[in-house]
Amino acid sequence: MAIDKVTSASITDSAVTDAKLSFNANQFRNIIINGDMSIAQRATSTASITSGAYHTVDRFKTNISSLGTWTQSRDTTVPTGQGFATSLKMDCTTADGSPSSGDFLNIGTRFEGQMLQYLKKGTSSAESLTLSFWVRSNKTGTYTAELYDSDNTRYVSKTYSISSADTWEKKTITYDGDTTGAFGNDNNVSLSVFFWLGAGSDYTGGTFNNGTWGSGGNNTRVSSSQVNLADSTSNEWYITGVQLEAGTSASDFEFLPFDVNQQRCQRYFVQYGRDLNGAGDINVGIGQWYSASEIVYNIYSPVRMRVKPTITSPTVSGGYRFHKAGSYTDVDTGGVMTNCDNQALSVYKSGLSGGTGGQATFVAFIVAGAKVQFSAEL
């Protein structure tokens, strides 16, 4: 078998391009983070969802306004033979068969502008984008998938169809590059992907943009044929293998090592808690008594977060133990954020007693549900 000779002329700078290599040398090929739904730091299932938040799977946010009640879970129902172990599932538990004009439900994921500069948006060389994913539902019909540019309030949507009930189907959608409006080169949200599951006339009542970038108003963003997944408590919807990449064709899903995927998610959210360690106490931070009633303790994030995070610490009766010489104090909350950057995280707790200023301490979470959550979400 003849082997073509490799010459210096064939590997010149001009001859070797990102397009020929099928990836951008400075990026992961897949813009989506956690597209295989493998990371779910907050929970693996959340019931009674009626408000927007990150509920289970990292980087995928539920956006909702008065359209049914839902249980969201990281599920093990997946397409056979594709390498996926988990999917995101939406399960309708309270139906709404007649959405009001402003009602909506979608699942979205967001991206920083500084990570998207290679797409050259807002120039004559703007890259096309191809979205691919596996989807399944008992509710057949037309759905809308949208790209939304927050920097310039521009958006483009296309539809896909679920043809067979309760059957995994792979979908591929290509969007033209947008030559108007550049992404900001910073750590704020520039681009979002929305998977629409239902919407009222405020989103469906205009002339659907149908693949054309523009800013014609919210009522152009969702197809008038969009199904209402909230119309029955029998309805459920699954998605996995979500990939968004430059170009006009979909490549195979880019699987990343679990630890790499987790670290990418932790740029936006990190939590420490007893729930993550099973039975027994978990020691989470060291610090000192600031006074007889105040403590500052430190936790070091495994990665540098997007910005200085906010902290959430749920109330758990006796769930948080602050140690002092030969003793400890058990309280119901873990504290609030104090001086820190986006990796060295300091937590302040007041309302204690019996401490000695300057004395060392360590903090333990001792009851299920006790945790501190640091969020730098977009």
Which of residues 266, 295, 312 is at a domain's end?
266
Cα–Cα dist 298/11, whole Å: 51
- Whether 27 is covered by a domain: the verdict is yes
CA nearest to 198, candidates 94, 110, 66, 55: 66
CB atoms within 10 A of CB 4: 6
Are 317 and 221 found together in one domain? no
Burial of 234 (0-12, 13-18, 19+ CB in 10 A): exposed
- Which DSSP string corresponds to 350-369? -S--S--TT-EEEEEE-STT
Contact residues for 370 (Cβ-Cβ < 8 A; gap 6+): 273, 274, 314, 316, 319, 320, 334
Report d(CA 157, CA 317) in Å as an integer: 47
Average pLDDT over residues 337-348: 90
pLDDT of residue 19: 44
Regarding whether 186 and 116 lie in a shared domain, the answer is: yes
The predicted pLDDT at position 326 comes to 85
Q: Are residues 195 and 323 in the same domain?
A: no
Task: Output the average pLDDT for the chain.
Answer: 92
Instruction: Examine the pLDDT at 3 and tell me if it is beyond 50.
Output: no
Q: Are residues 276 and 254 in the same domain?
A: no
How many other C-beta atoms are found inside a 10 Å radius of the C-beta of residue 351?
Answer: 12
Mean of the pLDDT values across residues 216-220? 97
- Whether residue 239 contacts residue 133, with contact meaning beta carbons closer than 8 Å, is answered with yes
Q: How many domains does the chain fold into?
A: 2
Q: Are residues 256 and 284 in the same domain?
A: no
Show Cβ contacts of residue 75 under 8 Å, excluding neighbours closer than 6 positions. Answer: 86, 87, 88, 89, 238
pLDDT of residue 337: 86
pLDDT over threshold 70, residue 25: no
Q: What local confidence, expressed as pLDDT, does residue 338 receive? A: 83
| 285 and 314 together in one domain | yes
Domain shared by 194 and 331, yes or no: no
Query: Tell me: the pLDDT tens digits for 292-342?
Result: 999 999 999 999 999 999 999 999 999 999 999 889 999 999 999 888 899
Q: What is the CA radius of gyration of the chain?
A: 24
- Residue 20 confidence (pLDDT) above 50: no
Do 192 and 305 sit in the same domain of this protein?
no
- In the DSSP assignment, the letter for residue 346 is E
- Across the range 226-244, mean pLDDT stands at 98
Q: Which pair of structure tokens corresponds to residue 8?
A: 């210096």
How confident is the model over 353-364, as pLDDT tens digits?
999 999 999 999
* Range 245-272 average pLDDT: 97
What pLDDT was estimated at residue 1? 44
Can you give the length of the chain in residues? 378
Q: pTM value? A: 0.91
Residues 281 and 256 in one domain: no
Q: Number of helices and strands (H, E) in the chain?
A: 3, 21
**338 and 257: one domain?**
no
* pLDDT for 26 beyond 70: no
* 27-78 residue pLDDT tens: 699 999 999 999 999 999 999 999 999 999 999 999 999 999 999 999 999 9
How distant, in Å, are the alpha carbons of 283, 287, 315, 362, 364 from that of 274? 9, 19, 13, 15, 9
Residue 55: in which H helix or E strand, if any? none
| pLDDT above 90 coverage of the chain, percent | 87
Does residue 16 register a pLDDT over 80?
no
Its domain, for residue 307, covers 269-375
Pair 31, 24: CB distance under 8 Å: no
From 266, 282, 308, give the residue that closes a domain: 266
CATH number of 55's domain: 2.60.120.260
Bridge partners of 328, per DSSP, are 323
Query: Is 3 within the bounds of a domain?
Result: no
Residue 2 lies in a domain: no
Instruction: Give the pLDDT band (50/70/90) at residue 23.
Output: very low
- Specify whether the CB–CB gap between 47 and 71 falls below 8 A: yes
Any domain includes 1: no
Residue 135 lies in a domain: yes
Nearest to 66 by CA among 108, 109, 96: 96
Looking at the structure, do residues 261 and 351 belong to the same domain, yes or no? no
Of the three residues 249, 266, 283, the one that is the final residue of a domain is: 266
CB 91 within 8 Å of CB 56: no
**Cβ neighbours for 1, distance < 8 A, ≥ 6 positions apart:** none
pLDDT in tens, 128-183: 999 999 999 999 999 999 999 999 999 999 999 999 999 999 999 999 999 999 99
Whether residues 293 and 239 fall in one domain: no
